[in-house]
Structure 1
Amino acid sequence: MLNRLLFSKIDNGSLVLFRIFFGLLISFEGFGAIATGWVRRTLIEPKFTFNFIGFEWLQPLPGNGMYLYFAIMGTLGLLIALGYKYRYAMIAFALMWSGVYLMQKSSYNNHYYLLALISVIMCFFPANRAYSLDAKLNPEIRTDSMYAYVKWIVVLQLFLVYTYASVAKLYGDWLDFTFIDVLMRSKSDYFLIGGLLQETWFQKVIGISGILFDLLIIPALLWKPTRLFAFIVSIFFHLFNSFVFQIGIFPYLALAFTVFFFSPETIKKRFLSNKTLYSDNEIIIPSYRKILLLVGGTYFIIQFALPLRHHFFQDDVLWTEEGHRLSWRMMLRSRNGTIQFRLVNRTTGKSEYVKLEDYLTKKQRRKVASYPDFMWQFAQHLKKEYAAKGEEISVFARSRVRINDHPYRTFIDPKTDLANVPWHHLKHHNWILPSNFSSKKKLPDRP
């Protein structure tokens, strides 16, 4: 049964078409990041970036080097779409995009994470075996077939993404539409639909449809009787998100994934000129079967487990942020805060308040004021700066954080020396004060 599911040979039209869409989209992402100023704001203007903890060595190229970096990624996207030197181009893009993803998280986005995962996966797919310059230049690799596991790897990855996104919405502020209201307040001036987005009934539609779409879209695309309807709904859903939330290429990447759900006949009739279909459905066990099952099984166990890890941490992930990233918790909360850092120089005995403007951009200051890992990393940055001068310091912070429409509450223990406490990836940090989110009521603020 498993061999038939994974190792049947099927038509590769969906993979080939996805490669073309994928290459064009990541090319737009690379060149668009330059054109919109994202590269300048995120990677050039900051004096330093907030990396994923453990990747502090990964910093942007000096000067205007990141413009060249993104231009290369955009060019690699075109090579991928054309299927020219595909394997090299795909590996290079996967490494470069993963580098960008890990070197900064001020602009963290679950979609960037998904793009990193898919880029790595695509390195191993034979997406250049048809409709590519590689196949034209080297006819020996030309084929109309692929293993069925290619399709099911993509489907399972998407199933995990959407299902976890749906389950994450099952919390108080989403279910009573409080967060939807918070999310839409800043969009009242949108052309045509700004007023509609403020209507309570429409916010309820958004909240309910968000849960149902994420939960049902993959099963609906897999089942032939609902496939076309699901595709139409998917177009509307993702274009709405693109217009309202302006989240880059993701809505279009999500639509590109749908090619894996349609029949080869539909793919080749609508998009590809070659009407020859591979329909032998023969089962051929590859020599790397055991390695594929081991590596693939391990990968999906990790993908299944990562979004669950916050349940094993103390307190609510909405408050602590511990276990939030890499968990498909998309657009779930509004987070704001205020913070004041006090630096105590243990070498000189002097104490002073830190001027955040001297170190951080406006966006970075917003992150530092409300996210615990940013607070800790900024304290580590100060510690390193003073250590270079031969001085030892302690860093204390007074922080107040607000989640959605809840009151501002004291977030971290002001007696904790953030410069001299360790960071734990899989353990709660006791210097994050309790949230008291157990009640559905909006609690009075803690003094």
Structure 2
Amino acid sequence: MLVIAHYMQRGFVFAKPPGFDTDGENQLQELVQKLKESLSLTLVHFYPLAGRLVTQKKAENPSELAIYIDCNKSPGARFILASLDLTMDDILSTTYVPRILRSLFDHERSINYDGHTESLLTIQVTELIDGIFIGCSMNHMVGDGISLWHFLTSWSEIFKAEEKTSVISRPPAHDRLFPRGRHNPFLRLPLIYDHDDQVIINRDEADILPADMIREKIFHFSSETVRKLKAKVNAERNATEISSLQAVSAHLWRCITRARNFPSDRKTSFVMVANARSKSVPPVPEDYFGNYLRAAIATAGCGELLEHGLGWAAWLLHQEVINQTGYGISHEQMESWLQSAILSGSDAPDPSRLLLAGSPRFNVYGIDFGLGIPVAVRTGSADKFDGKMVVSPGVEGGGSMDFEICLLPHIMTSLESDKEFMETVS
């Protein structure tokens, strides 16, 4: 359960179109009005995002509860208009992702449980000196990254329509089906209540590390570099099925492990979050709006990871992905989880772990709000910790990838001093 995890935050940097400055106030008002109108039409399909969370205790057993979305008596999604006296370069041309970026998103310190009183979706439009930043913050209990990009793509589709319409090419599927034979929505969750029957949240658990202690940087892998890494790992394993993402991830795993300089017998792990919609039995629609992910976790000793070749690490990742997504999620597995649900984000961070979110397949640069192709895509400060990585397609396409990597400052410095690594990025 993602009760104490943070909101998902994704934002787009757009350049102001030619002539925007000559009549900027009117053009901004027109843009904002159309964004609001198209957002309202989009929320007709993605109506859970306009709701609020509600917790209901089981009458005969108060230790069991159900958390659901009230879509009928809620104040709706939030829309913010702001301005910032900075240029796009002030945000994009720094060596590391600047802290000012956090001000471009709502819900900076909110956790998902706050969705009982705060909006489940906030859109913040910030006017820069020479650009427009559109930031989206979405409660992770409502949906995963696939659902977030489904919503953003649909919003863009409605915005671009020549006539006002709520028709979209991929309507979301909202059917929240329980496992076969189970009709009870109540779960036993490890939540603690005070004397006023309010949930006690330890926000220190949600804030794994203060954002100021993390150094965050975007590393770009060109399409040529990605092809070379993929060819290398498949040649080393005499294989063809290792993917581009698995090849680049293996390269990152080895380089960051070397930068961390742990003892050779210490275990290190790489977590890849994968879509499980098509792997359930029966399959869940690909357009299902909610959370339906599985984690592929590859583990190795730091020494053996560095001693073996890149292909060995990539094959390890590939096998774990196959183990998690190559087989259906059984009724027994689902029922087992329901009987022993845990709070994601409540465990202590593992300094030898890497976690990869996002996907190079998301339609990141296809998002169009009448301002042209996004100059860049960024995430907010929420849910950042040592070892967190987010991948997205590179702006030039062709299989290129951008990795947003969060590391402790001394580890980032060590990584940037690694010649093998720096020769592969720009």
Q: Same fold (TM over 0.5)?
A: no
Task: Give the TM-score of the pair, scaled to structure 1.
Answer: 0.23
Q: Which has the larger radius of gyration?
A: 1
Instruction: Decide which structure has greater helix share.
Output: 1
Q: TM-score, normalised on structure 2? A: 0.24
Compare the two structures and name the one with the higher strand fraction: 2
Greater RCO (Cα-Cα under 8 Å, separation 6 or more):
2
